[in-house]
Amino acid sequence: MDSVDLEVLKRSAEWVDQGRRVLLVTVVKTWGSSPRPEGAMLAVRDDGHVVGSVSGGCIEDDIIDRVRRDGIRATRCEAVTYGVSADEARRFGLPCGGTIQLVLEPLNRESGILALLREIEAGHLVSRRLDLGSGYATLHPARAIDGLSFDGKTLVTIHGPRYRLLVIGASQLSKYLAQIAVGLDYQVTVCDPREEYTETWDIPGVTVVRTMPDDTAVAMKLDERCAVVALTHDPKLDDLALMVALGSKAFYVGALGSRANNDKRRVRLKDFDLDDADIARLHGPIGLYIGSRTPPEIAISILAEITAIKYGVPAEARINVAIAKARAQAAATPACTVAHQA
């Protein structure tokens, strides 16, 4: 889950353990434009201290003001809506007349936040079902495809470990890819057994390992919240990692290289214990077409594709690098004329 929202849960648990009253605010629905997505959270302590965010700031200010003025007296959950009218949209800073619905949940020791944190720390993906009438919450196993739901009576939120990115190869491109991925809140591991490539690595928040890529992929236990990108151009390194990744549940597996090189790679992968469906999962050439040329631009292109796959953007809505270049090449080829003899 987003590290910001994880921090909200951790701080909420600390405050409750200290005997403070805490209001947990969750975005459950948005209409129009909204600065924060469904599932975003904010925790407000009884003295107005906050962690997290549910909007651009104006809604937080209103909630904080109410808590400082009235305290947290409520013992029952409630759903509130901001921005129904144009005036409210302007007042609360919602762009384009957007509307946002929130669930306000007074927390206590029986809210199960500590139990939820233990599940997340254990690497489990769980759903938390909150009954607004009783304020009672239960935890259940969840799937990567599950999402937030709210029917006015029950709020179901999905929680789990951060998304992970495994990068094979410690090249200059890998540095930009890792740095941007950290900013996107991925837990990044860069694997390269070649010492000469890893000695100068100094990207904060990135784990660098020198084990063989296939061993690293196995050890990471790749799941639905993992992406794998192979960047070395060396089949001895890339192919082994791809073999493991394509046989796993990783939501994205990609390899750098031209169309010709990736076609050869797919032929080589058939020698491993992979079927056609597994090999078809390989993205290569990787990235969305943005005209990228430099390493940081290519990194943005790759992460744009990973983000699109992560959020289920359909293939027909994405312009892959290979498709774009094929179209450009076709458009640049002059049409042939056939001379007809009388």
pLDDT one-digit tens code per residue, 6-63: 899 999 999 999 999 999 999 999 876 666 788 999 999 999 999 998 876 778 888 9
Please check whether residues 309 and 291 belong to one and the same domain: yes
Please check whether residues 143 and 179 belong to one and the same domain: no
Please check whether residues 56 and 170 belong to one and the same domain: no
Mean pLDDT across the stretch 116-138?
Answer: 93
Domain count, the chain: 2
Mean of the per-residue pLDDT values for the chain? 87
Q: What is the dihedral of CA 123, 129, 135, 138, to 10 degrees?
A: -60
Please check whether residues 168 and 153 belong to one and the same domain: no
Q: Is residue 89 part of a domain?
A: yes
Please check whether residues 256 and 109 belong to one and the same domain: no
Q: What CATH number has the domain bearing residue 207?
A: 3.40.50.720
Percent of the chain whose predicted confidence (pLDDT) is above 70: 87
* CA-to-CA dists, residue 28 to 5, 40, 186, 194, angstroms: 14, 8, 24, 47
Write out the residue range of the structural domain in which residue 307 sits: 164-326
Please check whether residues 18 and 137 belong to one and the same domain: yes
88 pLDDT band, cuts 50/70/90, is low
123 pLDDT band, cuts 50/70/90, is confident
Please check whether residues 186 and 312 belong to one and the same domain: yes
Residue 302 has pLDDT above 90, yes or no: yes
Strand order in the sheet with 99-107: 50-52, 41-45, 22-31, 99-107, 78-82
Q: Which residue has the higher pLDDT, 298 or 31?
A: 298
Please check whether residues 241 and 150 belong to one and the same domain: no
Please check whether residues 255 and 135 belong to one and the same domain: no
Q: Is residue 336 part of a domain?
A: no
pTM for the full predicted model = 0.68
Element at 103 (helix H, strand E)? strand 99-107
Please check whether residues 39 and 112 belong to one and the same domain: yes
177-186, 272-281, 326-335: least confidently modelled range: 326-335
pLDDT of residue 86: 63
